[in-house]
Amino acid sequence: MRHPLQLTSDPEVLSAFRPPPSALLTDSFGRRHNNLRISVTDRCNLRCTYCMPEDVTFLERSELLTFEEIAQFVRVAASLGVNKVRLTGGEPLMRKGLHKLVQMLVPIPGITDIGLTTNGLLLAEQAAELFDAGLRRLNVSLDTLDPGRFRELSRRDGLDRVLAGLDAAKKVGFGPIKVNAVAIRGFAEHDVVPLARYCRENGFELRFIEYMPIGAELWERNKVFFAQEILDLIGRDVCSLNPTKSDPTAPAVDYEYSDGNGRVGVIASVSRPFCEQCNRLRLTADGKVRNCLFALNEADAKSLLRSGNSPDTALAEMIRRSVWEKWAGHDFNTAQFVKPNRTMHSIGG
Ligand code: SAM
Ligand code: SF4
């Protein structure tokens, strides 16, 4: 989607324009960026069909940013106004000692909010150490409560472990705990209502994400189970919903059950794209800065971090330039859409 003010999306032309000298991260459409998603690994213990191929070559250990390098990047980003950080992957809990990274990020001046998105398989073992390290916000991905559909979607078993992980996280004191489900036609019809009931019973906030074209399999718009269909199903079979105040910069639109017993959110990336409010940038596990999930270009932060010189000034310039060059939005509702050459697991969802 091209912004009305954007005459070109050609990165070479865009890069000829330099960001104005400002301490804050603003793009050429005036969107302030304060939200950084960090992938800590591309490895995963599931193989969700909508996210990654079954056969995949993972990065070598030496290609991953170290925790020190990630923390240095976050310090620089925080000096430019980033205050929210989310750790993701691949499966972030497969990165050994992840709680140590949390401990390193918590004291960084300016960082006020640290979250983790996980598939939950390793959560029961790690919940306590993550909580003790200072992590409070937790999103656990769970698309179904049916073991057969879990296996079909993730090509692995593990539903029991995810449920045990959610249970452990709740006992340890995490809150809010959000449950993320990808809404795919043919699956979601069966899973929306049981997931909504389960989350209501357990005090989890349920979020549905419309299926996006960022996995390995062929995506078509008619494979998406749309936000409105989800809301209609829940309103009919679980409890009626009322719109509630949502963070205008967050992708989710939130609803409250009319009996006051919980909330549901929908991330309508396909049916109601929210690029105009986007405030996110991404750091991949191999140290590339991406200004959009669907970006076709990346900036190489790892080379700067490993250059041997003191890289903070150059890193700040790289981050500002990457944000400045951001396009108006993705094009996946149009024929012009070009899929990035990485799938979700190697970008960081
Ligand atoms: N492994 C962790 C997990 O599954 O929560 C973190 C990484 S995963 C890539 C982050 C989020 O992206 C998950 O909630 C996942 O469901 C979502 N996701 C992956 N592929 C997607 C797609 N094609 N469309 C929408 N969401 C997707
Ligand atoms: Fe792994 Fe998460 Fe992708 Fe599923 S969505 S394959 S759990 S990275």
pLDDT in tens, 54-71: 999 999 999 999 999 999
Please give the number of the atom of ligand 1 that sits closest to the Cα of 89.
Answer: 7
Q: Which ligand 1 atom sits nearest the alpha carbon of residue 143?
A: 16
4-347 CATH:
3.20.20.70
- State residue 16's pLDDT score: 54
The pLDDT of 281-285, averaged and rounded, is 98
- 34 close to ligand 2 (CB < 6 Angstrom): no
> Is pLDDT at 88 greater than 80 in this prediction?
yes
If one compares 23 and 321, the residue with the highest pLDDT of the two is 321
pLDDT reading at 4 higher than 60: no
Rounded to the nearest angstrom, the distance between the alpha carbon of 348 and the centre of ligand 1 is 8
Which pLDDT band holds residue 3 (cuts at 50, 70, 90)? Answer: very low
The answer, yes or no, to whether any atom of ligand 2 lies below 6 A from the CB of 156, is: no
Distance from C-alpha of 149 to C-alpha of 18, rounded to nearest angstrom? 49
Is there an atom of ligand 2 within 6 Å of 92 CB? no
Going by C-beta distance under 8 Å and a sequence separation of 6 or more, which residues neighbour residue 341?
Answer: none
For residue 254, what pLDDT band results from cuts at 50, 70 and 90? very high
User: Residue 17 has what pLDDT?
Assistant: 55
Least distant ligand from the CA of 180: 1
Q: What is the mean pLDDT of residues 277-289?
A: 97
Q: How far is the CA of 2 from the centre of ligand 2 (A)?
A: 30
pLDDT 10s digits, 138-166: 999 999 999 999 999 999 999 999 999 99
The whole-number average pLDDT for the span 220-235 is 97
pTM of the model: 0.94
265 CA → ligand 1 middle, Å: 16
